[in-house]
Amino acid sequence: MKYKSIILIASFVAFCLINLPHTYADEKQSDRFNLDLNSDEDGNTNPNLFLPYYWNSSWFSGVGFSNSSRLTQGTLTGFSDSRQGTIVEQQQLSINLLSFESVSGGLTYSVGGNYRITNIDRTEFGYLYLNNGSIDDYIAFDNLTEIAVSGLALRGDITWGSVDDDNSIRLGWVISPGDTLDVDQDTTFKPIITNSATGSSSKTQDLGYDLKLQTRHRMTDKFSIGLQLQYQVLPLEYDIKVLASTADSFQEATIDTTETTISNGIRFIFDDAISNGLDLVIGFSNEKVDVKDNVSGFTSDEDQSIFSLGFTSNF
């Protein structure tokens, strides 16, 4: 599924939720709402949105969308005379099909089901010097891998306190027991191979999960500070074609990686800065992405700082 398709689906679902007949939603429409515009070190601005719709005091649905991009540069392992650039564009659409929410004293909990689509476009390009006896030349390469991970997920959260309390904490989780991964590939190595490698595959993935801890601490009547921690594990296993050892053809290979994302940050919340109970949020966070090759054991990591500007009705 392409980026534009995800945008269209998210827009359509959001439009339907906004235009449904209002009943209890008139009172709680802003609960759980958040919109962040995240700016990274490369100057990219990426949205992170969740729009809820409350059917009554116990049931709600919603739609979430997030986008991220990463650019890394370096050399190829085993080739000192080489250069490689990698661009990773990732979009996620999460449709909260239906969730149950209950309040008991100072504790609020919810549980429900999501359907999530994660689209990852990975573009690698560069050159290397190859001397294996039969070939003594510089080689240029381009590799485009389009990955779509989709499936049902179990979501839930537990909240201590509320937005009106001096201190509140929310622990949330999303568990994906068996997503389906579809991949399409287009790879070229020139001038040694004139044709390109194209192909596709589909596989069921191992368990993936996403844990998130949020806090909010009221400092004054109109100002709060919040902390956020997130730990996400995304398994990615698929089959593609790679350059054979003879360097004159392609061969099948299984890519088996685990992508772990750890982020932590602080948020400055200005209460009731916007109408309808929405608060202005300014945030700073650090995000680290570790990618482990489960076949070779090789691990790579990327770090970036993110500035956020947005609105929220709770955390």
One-letter amino acid identity for 241? K
Instruction: Give per-residue pLDDT as tens, 89-148.
Output: 999 999 999 999 999 888 999 999 999 999 999 999 999 988 877 788 899 999 999 999
275 Cβ partners below 8 Å, 6+ apart? Answer: none
Please tell us whether the domain made up of 3-312 is placed in CATH 3.40.50.
no
* pLDDT classification of 2: cutoffs 50, 70, 90: very low
Mean pLDDT on 277-305: 91
**Tokens 């609105």 appear where?**
311
More confident: 16 or 55: 55
Please give the pLDDT value at position 86.
92
Residue 134 burial (10 A CB sphere; 0-12, 13-18, 19+):
exposed
> Does residue 21 register a pLDDT over 50?
no
Mean pLDDT over 280-295 rounds to 94
Q: Is the pLDDT of residue 275 over 50?
A: yes
Q: What pLDDT score does 276 carry?
A: 65
Percentage of residues of the chain with pLDDT beyond 70: 89
Q: Is the pLDDT of residue 163 over 80?
A: no
Mean pLDDT in residue range 250-275: 91
Residue 211 has pLDDT above 50, yes or no: yes
**81 φ/ψ angles, rounded to the nearest 5 degrees:** -95, 75
The residues, ordered by sequence, that sit 6+ positions from 200 with a Cβ below 8 Å of its Cβ are: 182, 183, 184, 185
Rounded to the nearest integer, the mean pLDDT of the chain is 87
Q: What is the pLDDT of residue 30?
A: 54
Residue 20 CB partners (closer than 8 Å, separation 6+) = 53
Return all residues near 133 (Cβ < 8 A) that are at least 6 apart: none
Average pLDDT, stretch 220-249? 91
**Among candidate residues 77, 218, 95, the one with its CA nearest the CA of residue 153:** 95
Rounded CA separation 76/57 (Å)? 55
Mean pLDDT of 207-224: 95
% the chain with pLDDT above 90: 59
Q: State pTM to two decimals.
A: 0.86
- Tokens describing residue 3: 């980026």
Strand stretches in 105-135, DSSP E: 107-131
Residue of higher predicted confidence among 313 and 168: 168
Mean pLDDT value of segment 170-175: 97
As given in the structure block, the two tokens for residue 50 are: 């969740």
Cα–Cα distance, 197 to 280 (Å, whole number): 49
Q: What is the DSSP letter of 32?
A: T
User: Is it the case that residue 7 has pLDDT exceeding 60?
Assistant: no
